[in-house]
Structure 1
Amino acid sequence: MTLTPEQHAEIEEQRSLSQPTRRAVSPGMEERLYTAHPVLDHGLVRVIDYMGDDSAITQAARVSYGRGTKKVSDDRGLIRYLMRHWHSTPFEMCEVKFHVKLPVFVARQWIRHRTANVNEYSARYSILDREFYIPEPDKLAAQSTVNHQGRGAVLQGEEAARVLDILREDAMRSYDHYEDMLTPDAEAGKQGLARELARMNLPMNTYTQWYWKVDLHNLFHFLRLRADAHAQYEIRAYADTMCEIVKDWVPAAYEAFEDYRLGGVNLSGRAVEVLKRRLAGETVTAETSGMSKGEWREFEAVWG
């Protein structure tokens, strides 16, 4: 991760300031505020601001559902109940704003989650830095033979070295041309191309930055998909870092999320029926399950 001296100074200044407040604060998140957590080779995640804590979730739930929730013995139990039964609005009472630095191709995956507020660094007004994501050798893999959007075996030896050389050389050459197109030169008769046009020459592994503000319910949805083992490694690296941050922010809510979402399994009606038949002593096969081949394969991967 590369931070400029100005960015380091800004972070230190922000972390040195403290304001008295009557609002709820999370001690774990207070420690995380403004700190830049490195991701990939030049990326980062840092918390700019947040609202709410575990108690904000239970407070909202008790307002929403009235006296019935008084039977829940404690906040942890109520939060687990809400997560278990897929209630969403109490978790929307908490919000967080991240500063994220990430490769453009990761950003294009990320932006598909349309339930957040985003403001991205503008390459129309500013010049992008000469920073590119170059994978570690063990992250270079061939196309999977069974998953059309996944990776297979890791590339080895000369092929891996050749791919890394291509990635580096193409990125540097593209940036050289980007700079050249931007630079006016009166003696050479060059006016210099507009930034909004010159940027089209940059590769997808160029780093961009944005502020991303989201409520906890939609953040959990993002993390459930992107921290999953099947997610692309590069976006999963960001999701894993954010999981550690959220764990410190709302520990009870994260515990429930980890148990019921990350570590849980959703079953179709047919899958439930197959499990009941197995428990009754019946031998159920793919042919007698009523499932498609893909569904049966996924069922066996979890249940054997």
Structure 2
Amino acid sequence: MTLYQVLDKGYVRLVNHMGSDLSVVNAARVSYAKESNELSDKDIRLIKFLAREGHTSPFRHVMLQYEIYAPLMVARQWWKYVIGSAHAEGTGDSLEAWNESSRRYITEEPTFYIPNSDEWRSKPENSKQGSGEVLGNEVGTQLTQELIEYIELGVQKYESAIEAGLCAEQARLFLPSYGMYVRWYWTASLQSVCHFLNQRLEHDAQKEIQDYAKAILELSKPLYPASIQELLVKRD
């Protein structure tokens, strides 16, 4: 499987990848002019050692490329990992790339994330961020309908502006932004991917980006089972 559906209309697609668990091992062993031809138990023990002791550069010789379609609120959270990857403590990883579709150039029909009536969450009781329990169905139904009406109004104004001759880069100001789906390519090293997963698989991460992190994990783990097993924080 190379594509994983997320939320109502989103997805993650594995576009390409380079290397394997064996690539990690051989990157580490090149210091001694040694190379393995087939992954062995000894090689897996080396991967465990590298991850445990924080010797992370060998994991940056493996690269993955994804196409992601997600609401803007997810994309902007995700983008922080590209900005911070070269400076994050313990990573030093600048091998990332991000290319996103732009409504300066395209006028395809806008698509929006609309939670179902049973997906609206309350504010948390003891925190300034995150969310709490699911709201009641009556309130949820009202919120879903209000969001649909708000989106329809924005799309109507956007289309009217385009028809009036306004350029696409300004017409997009009429579109409700945070729930609008955007598409991008993300290319990153295995270490950087696992850093993202460790942060966004946590129970207190926003649920929507947790869902995308789970998709990234499902698509990536079969390719690098030993390395991902050791780089991810162990959870109950």
TM-score surpassing 0.5?
yes
User: Gaps spanning 5+ residues in structure 2: where?
Assistant: 86-95
Q: Secondary structure at the match of 2:64?
A: strand
- The structure-2 alpha-carbon separation of the partners of 1:144 and 1:47, relative to structure 1 and needing over 3 Å to count, comes to same
Counterpart of 1:133 (choices 113, 125, 138) is 113
Counterpart of 1:237 (choices 193, 196, 211) is 211
Contact 2:119 2:140 in 1 (8 A): no
Contact 2:201 2:210 in 1 (8 A): yes
- The structure-2 alpha-carbon separation of the partners of 1:39 and 1:233, relative to structure 1 and needing over 3 Å to count, comes to same
In the superposition, the TM-score normalised over structure 2's length comes to 0.87
Q: Could you tell me how far 1:140 is from its partner in structure 2?
A: 0.8
Aligned length: 220
Contact 1:228 1:262 in 2 (8 A): no
CA RMSD of aligned residues (A): 2.0
| Letter aligned with residue 13 of structure 2 | R
Contact 2:114 2:144 in 1 (8 A): yes
Q: Could you tell me how far 1:97 is from its partner in structure 2?
A: 0.7
> Structure 1 segments of 4 or more deviating over 3 A?
67-70
Counterpart of 1:46 (choices 5, 8, 13) is 13
1:107 aligns with 2:80: no
Counterpart Cα distance in 2 of 1:130 and 1:172: 11
Q: Could you tell me how far 1:86 is from its partner in structure 2?
A: 1.5
Q: Encode CA deviations 1:215-239: one digit per residue, 9 max, x unaligned.
A: 0011110010011111101011010
Bigger proportion of residues as helix? 1
Q: Could you tell me how far 1:138 is from its partner in structure 2?
A: 3.3
Residue correspondence of structure 1 range 170-189 to structure 2 within 5 A: 170-183=150-163
Counterpart Cα distance in 2 of 1:144 and 1:106: 19
In the superposition, the TM-score normalised over structure 1's length comes to 0.68
Match of 1:94 in 2: 62
The percentage of counterpart residues that share the same residue type is: 34
Q: Secondary structure at the match of 2:158?
A: helix
Moved more, 88-97 or 152-161: 152-161
Counterpart Cα distance in 2 of 1:247 and 1:163: 37
Match of 1:12 in 2: none
Match of 2:93 in 1: none
Match of 2:179 in 1: 205
Contact 1:88 1:217 in 2 (8 A): yes
- The structure-2 alpha-carbon separation of the partners of 1:93 and 1:210, relative to structure 1 and needing over 3 Å to count, comes to same
Counterpart Cα distance in 1 of 2:204 and 2:25: 32
Counterpart Cα distance in 2 of 1:133 and 1:252: 35
Counterpart Cα distance in 1 of 2:107 and 2:162: 9
1:155 aligns with 2:122: no
Q: Encode CA deviations 1:53-111: one digit per residue, 9 max, x unaligned.
A: 000000001114x38999x9611111111111122100000001100001011111110
Q: Encode CA deviations 1:187-231: one digit per residue, 9 max, x unaligned.
A: xxx3x1110011122121011100110000111100100111111
Contact 2:101 2:184 in 1 (8 A): yes
Contact 1:45 1:100 in 2 (8 A): yes
Contact 2:99 2:186 in 1 (8 A): yes
If asked which structure has higher relative contact order (CA below 8 Å, sep 6+), I would say 2
